[in-house]
Amino acid sequence: IMASKYNIVFVLGGPGAGKGTQCSKIVDKFGFIHLSAGDLLREERAKPGSEYGELIENHIKNGTIVPVEITCSLLERAMKDSGKMDFLIDGFPRNQNNLEGWNKEMGEKVNLKFVLFFNCPLEVCTQRCLDRGAAGSGRSDDNLESLKKRFDTYMNATMPIIEHYEEQDLVRKIDATRSPDEVFEDVEKLFS
Ligand code: UP5
Ligand code: MG
Per-residue tens of pLDDT for the chain, all 192 residues: 567 999 999 999 999 999 999 999 999 999 999 999 999 999 999 999 999 999 999 999 999 999 999 999 999 999 999 999 999 999 999 999 999 999 999 999 999 999 999 999 999 999 999 999 999 999 999 999 999 999 999 999 999 999 999 999 999 999 999 999 999 999 999 999
Does 60 contact ligand 1 (Cβ within 6 A)?
yes
Ligand nearest to the CA of 118: 1
* 139 is annotated as contributing to ligand binding: yes
The protein residue whose alpha carbon is closest to atom 34 in ligand 1 is 15
**Global model pTM greater than 0.95:** yes
The protein residue whose alpha carbon is closest to atom 20 in ligand 1 is 18
Measured CA distances, 65 to 20, 94, 152, 172 (Å): 18, 7, 12, 24
Atom of ligand 1 nearest to the CA of 153: 44
Cα–Cα distance, 168 to 19 (Å, whole number):
22
Atom of ligand 1 nearest to the CA of 177: 6
> Coil, helix or strand for 178?
coil
Calculate how far, in angstroms, residue 129's C-alpha sits from the geometric centre of ligand 2. Answer: 10
Dihedral sign computed on CA atoms, order 184, 129, 9, 165: positive
The protein residue whose alpha carbon is closest to atom 49 in ligand 1 is 65
Cα–Cα distance, 87 to 108 (Å, whole number):
16
- Strand order from edge to edge, sheet including 171-175: 33-36, 86-90, 6-13, 110-119, 171-175
Question: Would you state the pLDDT for residue 3?
Answer: 72
State the DSSP H helix or E strand holding residue 33, giving kind and residue range, or none if neither. Answer: strand 33-36
The protein residue whose alpha carbon is closest to atom 27 in ligand 1 is 16
Ligand nearest to the CA of 12: 1
- Best residue among 10, 11, 12, 21 to mutate for probing ligand 1's pocket (most ligand atoms within 8 Å of CB) is 21
Question: Would you state the pLDDT for residue 2?
Answer: 63
Question: Would you state the pLDDT for residue 1?
Answer: 59
Cα–Cα distance, 91 to 9 (Å, whole number):
11
Measured CA distances, 57 to 45, 53, 60, 68 (Å): 7, 6, 5, 15
Calculate how far, in angstroms, residue 1's C-alpha sits from the geometric centre of ligand 2. Answer: 37
Which residues are found with C-beta within 5 Å of the ion, ligand 2? 19-20
- CB atoms near residue 76 (< 10 Å): 16
The protein residue whose alpha carbon is closest to atom 39 in ligand 1 is 38
Cα–Cα distance, 4 to 84 (Å, whole number):
11
